[in-house]
Chain A
Amino acid sequence: MGAIQNLYRSHHQLTHGTLGLLFVTAFWHWADRMVANESFFVGPWKVLRTTISLFATGTIYPHLRTSGWEFLMGYGIAAMIGISLGMAFGMSKLVREFLDPWLGGLYATPTVALAPLIIIWFGIELTPKIIIVLLTAVIDIIINTYTGVINVGQEFRMLGMAFCVPKRQIWFKILLPGSLPYIVTGLRLATSRAIVGVVVAEYFGSSEGLGWLLFKALDTYNMPLMISCATLLAGTGIVLNQGILAVEKIMAPWRDTKLQE
């Protein structure tokens, strides 16, 4: 008994976390029992079995490849564009004054609403999907980089200028490292948005991908497949989020990363 109590005391966070997860799963299972209608609601075991069989039969791999490629391309380009634009915003007052209204507008626009327009413009190949993912993801990265550059202590910048440090070194030795934690936050927030982008893009015209599989399941009322796809997408989101969160904690331990600003 003493050993168990000690274990509980030293790992109570982990224990409570597991308990919470178990509690939610049990509730899910109980709800499934109560509903008892497979075309309406599906319990955790059935979802697990469906997911395993998707992998075992190999049907999932082409979809994973397509969606993964869309995500990686869109997100990668968004990261490049977002970080450079955010730096430009933070650095130049002129750029800021000219583009601020547009950034504010784009921030307020539900970019997923642009998806049908982009499909009309670029067809239903891979390109429009990458553009949709890019558009949904880029805004968080721009805004966070911008905030980061502005928040780098003005004193450091002044110090650099006072010592006549060349402009390039001010960028690479002061502004970039100073705003890095913010950039990582932006990258993290962008992952979940990019996944939304992938799903929405595939809704508006595609023949492959996790999102497409989800909508096919919806059309055929295949509840287990649908929840299975949803869980896979959600799982990807959670894993990416937690992974980048861990990086964030290493790079900027002084920041409270729970603040989702």
Chain B
Amino acid sequence: MRNVRPGNLRRSHNLTLLAWAQSAYGHNRMLIHGIGSVALGLLLWEVIDRWFDDKYFFTGPDEVIKELIQLVRDGEIWIHLRYSALEGLYGYALAAAAGIACGAMLAFSRTLDEMFSPVLIGLYATPRPVLAPLFIVWLGLGVASKVAVIFIASFFPVAINTTAGIKNVESEFRLLGRAFNVSPWAMFVKIIVPGALPFLIAGLRLGYSRAIVTIMVAEMFGSEAGLGYMIVHATQVYDIPKMMVGISMLTLWGILGNEVLKLIERRATPYKQTLGI
């Protein structure tokens, strides 16, 4: 709207159309720029591809889409998608449940917190690719080892954020509750849960993005199927389009999951301001 200046309006013959266009641009500026940027990026990608003109080195968006259609027709992609989704879901769901439970336990017992928080934070900083080979030795090449690695990757952010969230509930609110002689149940449901929820969801989001990365990492070292397996095997035969299909699938999962969690965040904690990503 702010692009419509009085001077512009007076000069323009086709006033309504121009004003409409300008206001439409003003209202949807964010969307238009976003779409424009994606389109530009894809174009640039295609141009670079044409410039290299070497399919064993670089590949454009058209070839990636062709490859995707091919893989869908073959049915090959479904095997990998199902395998990775299974790992991801099991690992993440277990991590979320256990993380919230352990985090809450640490938050309510100070001794436990002091005993195990350093260990938790230490394990949180441990790079996951280091653990993947160990679990393959212990649990084999199947789904179990990947579920374990994904569990470990997402467990710690969820647990640490749950503890931090519960401990961070403003003590005034707690005192207020106590002053009004609120029952322990109401204290938990009406004060502690809403106060801790923003942190908890932040932990769940962090855990999710780690889980996606870990699908790749865990399958890299040895697997029977899965997107990470597909990517690594495509690399070994220089099949770059196939590799890009795998990477885009993981990215798509990342974006979708993140959006869903963002939606949950907005619905569950409308009182919290969210910024950025």
Do A and B come from the same complex?
yes
Report A's interface with B, CB cutoff 8 A: 12-13, 16-17, 19-21, 23-24, 40-41, 94, 97-105, 107-114, 116-117, 119-121, 143, 146-147, 150-151, 191-192, 195-196, 199-200, 203-204, 211, 214-215, 218, 221, 223, 226-227, 229-230, 233-234, 237-238, 240-242, 256, 258-261
Residues of A within 8 A of B70 (CB): none
In the complex, whether B127 has a CB less than 8 A from a CB of chain A is yes
Q: Are B164 and A259 in contact (CB under 8 A)?
A: yes
CB within 8 Å for A230 and B115 given contacts A143-B277, A259-B202? no
| Total B residues in contact with A, Cβ cutoff 8 Å | 72
Query: Which secondary structure dominates chain B's binding surface?
Result: helix
Give bound CA distance, A204 to B232, whole Å.
9
Q: Are B168 and A256 in contact (CB under 8 A)?
A: yes
Q: Are B164 and A258 in contact (CB under 8 A)?
A: yes
Closest chain-A Cβ to B52's Cβ sits at a distance in Å of: 10
Chain B residues numbered 190-237 whose CB sits less than 8 Å from any CB in chain A: 199, 202-203, 206, 209, 212-213, 215-217, 220-221, 228, 231-232, 235
A-B contact count (CB 8 A): 193
8 pairs across A/B with beta carbons < 8 Å? A20-B116, A105-B255, A108-B251, A108-B253, A108-B254, A112-B216, A116-B243, A259-B168
Give bound CA distance, A49 to B38, whole Å.
54
In the complex, whether B27 has a CB less than 8 A from a CB of chain A is no
In the complex, whether B140 has a CB less than 8 A from a CB of chain A is no
Q: Are A230 and B130 in contact (CB under 8 A)?
A: yes
Residues of B within 8 A of A23 (CB): 115
Q: Are B33 and A238 in contact (CB under 8 A)?
A: no
Give bound CA distance, A143 to B276, whole Å.
8
Give bound CA distance, A92 to B48, whole Å.
28
Chain B 55-68 against A: per-residue CB contact (8 Å), 1 yes, 0 no? Answer: 00110000000000
Residues of A within 8 A of B250 (CB): 109-110, 113
Residues of B within 8 A of A146 (CB): 276
Give bound CA distance, A196 to B253, whole Å.
21
Closest chain-A Cβ to B243's Cβ sits at a distance in Å of: 6
Give bound CA distance, A110 to B227, whole Å.
12
Residues of B within 8 A of A19 (CB): 115
Q: Of A112, A227, A258, which is within 8 A of B134 by CB?
A: A227
Q: Are B161 and A260 in contact (CB under 8 A)?
A: yes
Q: Are B36 and A234 in contact (CB under 8 A)?
A: no
Q: Of B116, B133, B216, which is within 8 A of A113 by CB?
A: B216
Residues of B within 8 A of A238 (CB): 121-122, 125-126
Q: Of A21, A101, A103, A242, which is within 8 A of B38 by CB?
A: A101
Report B's interface with A, CB cutoff 8 A: 29-30, 33-34, 36-38, 41, 57-58, 111, 114-119, 121-131, 133-134, 136-138, 157, 160-161, 163-165, 167-168, 199, 202-203, 206, 209, 212-213, 215-217, 220-221, 228, 231-232, 235, 238, 240, 243-244, 246-247, 250-251, 253-255, 258, 275-277
Give bound CA distance, A135 to B144, whole Å.
29
CB within 8 Å for A230 and B206 given contacts A97-B34, A110-B216? no
Q: Are A233 and B130 in contact (CB under 8 A)?
A: yes
Q: Are A17 and B127 in contact (CB under 8 A)?
A: no
Q: Are A261 and B206 in contact (CB under 8 A)?
A: yes
Closest chain-A Cβ to B199's Cβ sits at a distance in Å of: 6
Closest chain-B Cβ to A16's Cβ sits at a distance in Å of: 4
CB within 8 Å for A98 and B36 given contacts A20-B119, A234-B127? yes
CB within 8 Å for A237 and B235 given contacts A113-B247, A143-B276, A218-B137? no
Give bound CA distance, A105 to B115, whole Å.
39
Residues of A within 8 A of B199 (CB): 259, 261
